[in-house]
Structure 1
Amino acid sequence: MQAWRRPGRWLALWWLVGALAHAESYTLHLDPASVITYEATTPFERWRGQAPVASLSGSFDDRDVAGSLRLTVTLEPGAFRSGIAIRDINAQRTVFRTDAYPLITFTLTQAELAGPLPPGSTQAARVTGTLAMHGVERTITVPVTVRRAQNALTATGAFAVRLSDYDMHRPSFLFVTVDDTVRLEFDITARLEPG
């Protein structure tokens, strides 16, 4: 009992209680500047298309960001724009088949971070989740760079998907077929709301 009368022990206990009291939980809200970009190629051409993120929902707790992170991101493939309208219409009708599959969804199942993510920090991370596209669901793992501001969380990164893995038709233009592998890049920002 005498040991707890030492000022150092009381200060340590006070710091611990204060830290726990100020640990925050946050809900995530989509920043409308968030975008997904695809890059497709043929043997003779490379082009990019971009679409805004349609929706985002999630939450995390500062006491265990990786363990508590919940995240679902939704994209409307019909919103992709490459700068050539006929190409976009063809992609909507024959590749994405947006009439039957109007949404692409990523649902996070696991996040790997090296440690805490306080405001002002940047960290390399890995996220694993289910990518649902064209009626097919597959588990993917993606490297991510996460930046934490005072009131926002930004995730950037890139990964490749094979159209054949999702039973998607590879379009042809003048007998030139698009490569099976398409690169996807993301730049997603979520505003943080305590609670």
Structure 2
Amino acid sequence: MKTTKNLISLGLILTGLVLPQLSNAQKITQKNTTIIISGTSPMHDWEMKGSTSTFTGVVAGNAITNVSLTVPVKTLSAEKGKIMEKKAYEALKSDKAPNVTFTASSINIGKSNVAGKLTIAGTAKNVSIPVSVVKKGNAYLINGTETVKLSEFGMDRPGFMGIKTGDVVTVKVNVVAE
């Protein structure tokens, strides 16, 4: 009898702790995204930009959980023109891997490093990325910057007439989600 009473008490306590958290959980999606990829080559520095992505997460307490960011490769545009875009799409293996994705179980609100899985050109790697998450009204401003070695994702460096880009690129992502 005492065990049954303890189980019922434990169940009520857990319900009291968990239900408020579940009711406070809020699904968010991107309203605005900016992606900037920059790199170097012996000829000139280069940059690609994008504003198309799919971001989802669930805000619960001081974190965003179930984080997913997907960027369609062919929505990235190069300031140096269509030839650069074509070379970048080939390096990113866009025909076989049309999206770059990042998933994480949780991102803390504030400044932190988020551990997650980054998939580029069909190759997935566990990474830790410095991010900043700021709540502004109903919106969450999520900013992250990471340097990536193309070779670590099985990518050939894009090039033209024997001149290749550097192996390291910097990726900046800014998401506004509500």
User: Could you say which TM-score interval applies, normalised by the shorter chain?
Assistant: 0.7 to 0.9
> Structure 1 counterpart of 2:28, which letter?
L
Q: Which residue of 2 aligns with 1:153?
A: 140
Distance 1:35 1:89 in 2: 21
Q: Tell me, yes or no, if structure 1 residue 90 matches structure 2 residue 53.
A: no
Pick the structure with more strand per residue: 2
**Mapped partners of 1:109, 1:61: distance in 2:** 12
Q: Once the 2 structures are TM-superposed, how far is the Cα of residue 53 of structure 1 from its aligned partner?
A: 3.6
- Contact 1:147 1:155 (8 Å CA) reproduced: yes
Tell me if structure 2 keeps the 8 A contact 1:162–1:182: yes
**Secondary structure in 1 matching 2:102:** strand
User: Paired residue for 2:131, among 122, 144, 152?
Assistant: 144
Cα offset, 1:109, TM superposition = 3.0
Superposed, 1:33-52 pairs within 5 Å as 33-52=32-51
Where does residue 24 of structure 1 map in the other structure? 24
Query: Which range moves more in the overlay, 134-143 or 171-180?
Result: 171-180
Within a 5 Å distance, the mapping from 1:1-195 to structure 2 comes to 24-31=24-31, 33-62=32-61, 65-66=62-63, 69-83=65-79, 84-92=81-89, 94-111=90-107, 113=108, 123-191=110-178
Q: Which amino acid aligns with 2:161?
A: L
Q: Is contact 1:51-1:81 (8 Å) kept?
A: yes
Q: Secondary structure at the match of 2:126?
A: strand
Unaligned runs of 5+ in 2: 1-19
Tell me, in whole angstroms, the C-alpha distance in 1 between the residues paired with 2:38 and 2:51: 15
SS in 1 for 2:84: helix
After TM superposition, the structure 1 stretch with the greater mean CA deviation from structure 2, 160-169 or 38-47, is: 38-47
Matched residue pairs, number? Answer: 158
Give 3-state SS (helix, strand or coil) of 1:91's partner.
helix
Alignment partners' CA distance in 2, 1:96 and 1:81 = 13
Q: How far, CA to CA, are the matches of 2:161 and 2:177 in structure 1?
A: 42
Q: Percent identity?
A: 22
Distance 2:168 2:105 in 1: 24
In structure 2, give the amino acid aligned to 1:25.
Answer: A
TM-score of the superposition, structure 2-length normalised?
0.81
Q: Which runs of 5+ in 1 are unaligned?
A: 1-19, 118-122
1:184 shift after superposition: 0.2
Match of 2:14 in 1: none
CA distance in 2, matches of 1:182, 1:74: 18
The TM-score with structure 1 as length reference comes to 0.75
Q: Secondary structure at the match of 1:164?
A: helix
SS in structure 2 of the partner of residue 87 of structure 1: helix
**Higher deviation after alignment, 45-54 or 138-147:** 45-54
Q: What CA distance in whole angstroms lies between the structure 2 residues aligned with 1:25 and 1:109? A: 15
